[in-house]
Amino acid sequence: LQYILVGLGLMMFYTLLLSISEHLGFNQGYLISSIAVILLIAAYSTSVLSNRRLAYLTALSLAAIYGFLFIIIQIESYALLVGSIGLFVILALTMFFTRNIQWYRSMRR
């Protein structure tokens, strides 16, 4: 249920973006929508995870993702290039930071 609620929160970004952009413009709509969704999910994560540090990390990750998407949208001509390089860097960082996690340790017991 928690994954569904967070997923619905992420989906609300697009509905908020569309409705706010009709009245205020795209940039303001994007800023308001992203802040609203980040705060919503961070507040929910704080109560679900019972750990403020993980909730802040979640909020920071969402802010980075929404910021990255905004930059890609703004630079139309280089969107594919910047997007591909950005995704490569994100994948490389994820692989680097998770290299020492023993994923199957609990399954062996």
Q: pLDDT (tens digit, 0 to 9) for every residue of the chain, 109 residues total?
A: 788 988 899 999 999 999 999 999 999 999 999 999 999 999 998 888 888 888 899 899 999 999 988 998 888 888 889 889 988 998 999 899 888 877 777 666 5
Q: Provide the H-helix boundaries in the chain.
A: 2-24, 26-49, 52-74, 79-97, 105-108
Residue 98 half-sphere exposure toward CB, CA atoms < 13 A: 8
Reported pTM: 0.75
Is the distance from CB of 24 to CB of 49 less than 8 angstroms? no
Q: How far apart are CA 54 and CA 69, in angstroms?
A: 22
Contact call for residues 15 and 43 (beta carbons, < 8 A):
no
Residue 99: per-residue pLDDT: 85
